[in-house]
Amino acid sequence: QPIRFTYADTSAVGNPLYTKPASLFYVTDLSGDTTYREGQLSDTLDWRQLAGVMAQSAEIDPLPVGEYRIFIPEVGYSFPFRVAEDVLREAFIGSVRGLYYQRAGQALPESHAGEYAREAGHPDTSVQFHPSSGRESGKTSSPGGWYDAGDFNKYVVNGAFPVGQLLALYEDIGDPAPDGTLNIPESGNGKSDYLDEIKYELDWLLTMQDDDGGLFHKLTTLKFAGMVMPRGATKQRFIVGKSTTATLDFAAAAAQASRVYREYDANYADRLLAAARHAWNWAQANPAAFFKNPTNVSTGEYGDGNADDERAWAAAELFATTGEQEFYNDLQENPPRVRFGPGIGWNSYMGNLAAFTLLRHPDRVPQEMSGRLRELVVTLADSIVSSIDSNAYHQPITGFGWGSNSDVMNAAMFLAAAHRQNRKKEYVAAMRDCMNYVLGHNPNAVCYLTGFGSRSPQFIHHRASAADGIDAPVPGLLSGGPNERQQDSAETRYKPNAVPMQSWADQTPSYASNEICLNWNAPFTYVAGYLEAVK
Ligand code: 9MR
């Protein structure tokens, strides 16, 4: 398909590609000897407000498989780019392996982690109950799971949500990483590597369920650790809070997993479903147990005073798995909200996940509900496509908040849901535009996935990457991306007068623009996997 690109002044970020308006472009091989395409750049576009650049845009007609550069006579050659059948395969594998590198409580041996091999940290076999958990004292064991982000903590809300997004890919396209493809410890066990990796997180989530069915909110130290390796961060860890949102997110992810893991391990699937039901019942009895950090805890809050989206997601997954009327009745009372926008993420994307799941099961879901959801999904997807067509750098957002790259990927995941309804090619093209933005077509001239592309983040806010003594960061992790609020401006030197899309700093202290996080890698994984599958 055609490739859209932008020629713009990115000299502020050390990429002096643009010096003056140009008129023609050529697509050449790497040496510049052979020209494959030539074309006209658009008139100058004023993208200063959002992207900080004057730009010219152009479209390249479909190219055969190969490696190319764009040549603009006034300025020279671009970075190389590749056209291939499986152009996103390595990035897809890389981002799932990025999750492997986030494993808590396990050593990463050289055979699986190469130079990023490290000792185990955080066994979490002796975790203390914080009074906010409802238990006054005592300890428990809650090992495993992935570190949430650049910090070493484990949060149920932001564990269950990415698991849901990752499992959605498996449901939509089949197994994207069969046994032997990921080089993880379970490779060779005869089961999907993809499901093996996700199970590492599910197993931990199961340990966070209290005897009454409710989910503890998080497992963390009282304060964030310093920039050390996992093994060096040894402060006491606590089970903190018990919340409705964590419980419902878990109920949803576990009910969904009980479908997906049925063939993988039927006993495990049964256990997941029982846990999901138990969680659901707790949440019915405790619909408004909202989490706030206790005064002596300052780690990630994932606080959310509205559980409607989580409830709809849980009801949708339980209904899709069991077909029981109770869950459908609940969905009628609290229908999924279908939404997209900056910040519709770990706290409210669940309404979309509910809709995607209900649309995935037309046999179970009465037409009265599926018809309405289909219309909502397609209408919103069409508006996302028109934003992409008209916005700077052909991406869907005009407000850049914390984790904005995940907003772009969440929009693309939304487009996939619409594509599954009517197979319109324009959705796939728009998904590619979103992917291109994240992989380098942006005013910071950076591929936001570590370890990929010609220029990628070197100083992510990620404790292991900062402390491992290796120059390059752990690969396959998606930087959060531009964040116009710059909440870390005391610690970070942003470009002076940076506009929203430029508010990103490749600096270790930048927790508000250059951290990595599970719920950012997850939709990236979904979109890369989906694009590889639809071709
Ligand atoms: O993604 C979260 C963002 O929406 C919040 O505004 C921000 C501040 O509370 O926290 C982000 O999540 C962080 C979490 O709290 C702790 N681990 C790292 C997460 C990504 O920065």
Paired sense of beta strands 127-129 and 238-243, if any:
parallel
Which CATH number characterizes residue 378's domain? 1.50.10.10
pLDDT at 11 over 70: no
Residue 77 host element (H or E): strand 76-77
Are 162 and 77 in a shared domain?
no
Q: Model confidence over 446-480: pLDDT tens digits?
A: 999 999 999 999 999 999 999 999 999 999 999 99
Instruction: Scan for tokens 């809300």, then name that residue.
Output: 157
pLDDT at 17 over 70: no
Residue 205, in any domain of the structure: yes
**Arithmetic mean of pLDDT, 356-360:** 98
Cα distance between residue 172 and residue 189, in whole Å: 24
pLDDT at 10: 67
Q: Is the CB of 331 under 6 A from ligand 1?
A: no
- Ligand 1 center to 514 CA (angstroms): 12
Atom of ligand 1 nearest to the CA of 300: 15
DSSP code of residue 449: B
Lowest mean pLDDT among 1-15, 25-39, 345-359: 1-15
Residue 233, in any domain of the structure: yes
- Residue pair 105/122 in contact by the 8 Å Cβ criterion: yes
Which CATH number characterizes residue 65's domain? 2.60.40.10
- pLDDT-derived band at 14, boundaries 50, 70, 90: low
**Arithmetic mean of pLDDT, 424-439:** 98
**Arithmetic mean of pLDDT, 268-293:** 98
- Residue pair 215/243 in contact by the 8 Å Cβ criterion: yes
The pair phi, psi for residue 508, each rounded to 5°, is: -50, -40
Q: Model confidence over 130-158: pLDDT tens digits?
A: 999 999 999 999 999 999 999 999 999 99
Are 136 and 63 in a shared domain?
no
pLDDT at 15 over 60: no
Cα-based torsion angle of the residue sequence 183, 184, 187, 191 in order, rounded to the nearest 10 degrees: -120
Side chain identity at 423, as an amino acid letter? R
Side chain identity at 289, as an amino acid letter? A
Are 131 and 78 in a shared domain?
no
Paired sense of beta strands 53-60 and 3-8, if any:
antiparallel
Q: Is the CB of 149 under 6 A from ligand 1?
A: yes
Are 218 and 79 in a shared domain?
no
Q: Identify which of 151, 218, 402, 491 to mutate to test ligand 1's pocket (most ligand atoms within 8 A of the CB).
A: 402
Residue 176, in any domain of the structure: yes
Q: Is the ipTM reported for this complex over the cut 0.95?
A: yes
**Arithmetic mean of pLDDT, 474-492:** 98
Are 75 and 96 in a shared domain?
no
Are 61 and 157 in a shared domain?
no
pLDDT at 12 over 90: no
Q: Is the CB of 506 under 6 A from ligand 1?
A: no
Total residues found in the chain within this entry: 535
Q: 448: which 2 tokens?
A: 């936001």
For residue 175, the enclosing domain spans: 89-101+110-301+309-445+514-534
Paired sense of beta strands 35-40 and 24-28, if any:
antiparallel
Q: Identify which of 148, 221, 462 to mutate to test ligand 1's pocket (most ligand atoms within 8 A of the CB).
A: 148
Are 96 and 59 in a shared domain?
no
Q: 467: which 2 tokens?
A: 């402390």
User: What Cα–Cα distance (Å) separates residue 203 from each residue in 144, 206, 214, 275?
Assistant: 7, 5, 16, 12
Q: Model confidence over 408-430: pLDDT tens digits?
A: 999 999 999 999 999 999 999 99
Q: Is the CB of 517 under 6 A from ligand 1?
A: yes
Q: Model confidence over 317-330: pLDDT tens digits?
A: 999 999 999 999 99
Side chain identity at 63, as an amino acid letter? L
The pair phi, psi for residue 374, each rounded to 5°, is: -60, -45
Cα distance between residue 218 and residue 299, in whole Å: 10
Quick one: what percent of the chain has pLDDT higher than 70? Answer: 98
pLDDT at 75: 83
Cα distance between residue 177 and residue 96, in whole Å: 9
Which of 269, 251, 270 has the alpha carbon at shortest distance from 260?
269
HEC readout, 466-490: HHCCCCCCCCCCEECCCCCCCCCCC
Cα distance between residue 111 and residue 407, in whole Å: 34
Average pLDDT, the chain: 96
Cα distance between residue 308 and residue 450, in whole Å: 35
Are 146 and 173 in a shared domain?
yes
Atom of ligand 1 nearest to the CA of 153: 17
CA count, 13 A, side-chain hemisphere, 214: 24
**Arithmetic mean of pLDDT, 108-114:** 98
**Arithmetic mean of pLDDT, 364-369:** 96
Residue 488, in any domain of the structure: no
Side chain identity at 260, as an amino acid letter? V
- pLDDT-derived band at 342, boundaries 50, 70, 90: confident
DSSP code of residue 530: H
Cα distance between residue 341 and residue 344, in whole Å: 6
Strands (E), 84-235: 127-129, 139-140, 154-155, 215-220
Chain mean position to CA 78: 28
Residue 497, in any domain of the structure: no
Are 167 and 205 in a shared domain?
yes
Angle at 435 between CA 429 and CA 436, to 5 degrees: 90
Residue 273, in any domain of the structure: yes
- Residue pair 238/221 in contact by the 8 Å Cβ criterion: yes
pLDDT at 341 over 90: no
Cβ burial of 84 (10 Å; 0-12, 13-18, 19+) is exposed
Closest residue to atom 16 of ligand 1, CA basis: 300
Instruction: Scan for tokens 């197994």, then name that residue.
Output: 175
- Ligand 1 center to 20 CA (angstroms): 40
Cβ burial of 414 (10 Å; 0-12, 13-18, 19+) is buried
Q: Identify which of 157, 158, 516 to mutate to test ligand 1's pocket (most ligand atoms within 8 A of the CB).
A: 158
Look at residue 129 and give its three-state secondary structure. strand
Which of 476, 535, 529 has the alpha carbon at shortest distance from 95?
476
**Arithmetic mean of pLDDT, 109-118:** 98
Are 324 and 342 in a shared domain?
yes
Residue 260, in any domain of the structure: yes
pLDDT at 398: 95
Active site residue 461: yes
HEC readout, 241-273: EEEHHHHHHHHHHHHHHHHHCCCCCHHHHHHHH
Q: Is the CB of 402 under 6 A from ligand 1?
A: yes
pLDDT at 372: 98
pLDDT at 370 over 80: yes
Residue 414, in any domain of the structure: yes
Are 278 and 355 in a shared domain?
yes
pLDDT at 36: 97
Task: Point out the catalytic residue in the list 122, 419, 461, 462.
Answer: 461
- pLDDT-derived band at 74, boundaries 50, 70, 90: confident
pLDDT at 1 over 90: no
**More confident site: 38 or 14:** 38
- Residue pair 219/299 in contact by the 8 Å Cβ criterion: no
β-sheet bridge partners, residue 70: 27
Domain count of the fold of the chain: 2
Lowest mean pLDDT among 40-54, 245-259, 264-278, 407-421: 40-54
- pLDDT-derived band at 20, boundaries 50, 70, 90: confident
Cα-based torsion angle of the residue sequence 369, 520, 87, 168 in order, rounded to the nearest 10 degrees: -30
Are 274 and 386 in a shared domain?
yes
Residue 390 host element (H or E): helix 367-390
